[in-house]
Amino acid sequence: MERAILFDLDGTLLDTLPDIRASLNGALEEYGYPPVSLETTMTFVGGGARRLIERAVPQGGDVDGVLAGFSERYTHSENDLTRPYAGMEELLKELKRRGYGLAVVTNKLQTSAEKVIEKFYPNLFNKVMGDSGMFPCKPDPTSARFVALSLRVAPRDCVLVGDGETDVFTARAAGMGGVSTLWGYRTRAELEAAGAKVFAEDVPALAALLLKK
């Protein structure tokens, strides 16, 4: 039986894409590179900040410089364009009430992850694990396994909920159950191609899956 639920952040707990795009385009503009659309930004996210910048910077461009500019902007962002998904806060509160361990496992920079979770979901998570340089980014399973260890729960008793292919791969590699959400930044076809088997169309459907026992 599941004893802990691990959540991806971007596209799963929160729609952060507009704020990510704003910080990204600000950094690109500083170097004279063309901006990217919201739709293009959506295809770039999921692999961590460096991978985002590598995808956005023109070939031969200054990835490290743009990465530094993006990180500075996004770390100090007030996340005014970010929005929680309807019903998510209520689901998290119910899971916590029932005694589940709750954690965030994201490729977002650690400081940014902590800041945005504190703003939108304060005091609901036992652990927020972002990219601090301690572990490789997902789909490497190390961060997910470390979170399970921190919660004193075996990986087999954890479920990883996420909207991306990286979450499918991470759950499988970590020996955890997985639920792929369909309100985020990837299509069902993309997730099925990654091997996803269990899907939630919306937050009520996710609640039905997680609260069934």
CA atoms within 13 A on the CB side of 24: 26
Concerning whether 8 is annotated as a catalytic residue, the answer is yes
| Residue 36 CB neighbours (<10 A) | 18
Active-site choice (8, 19, 163, 167): 8
Neighbour count for residue 152 (Cβ, 10 Å): 9
Distance CA(27)–CA(109), nearest Å, equals: 16
Coil, helix or strand for 101?
Answer: strand
Other Cβ atoms within 10 Å of 44 Cβ, number: 19
Where in the sequence numbering do the catalytic residues fall? Answer: 8
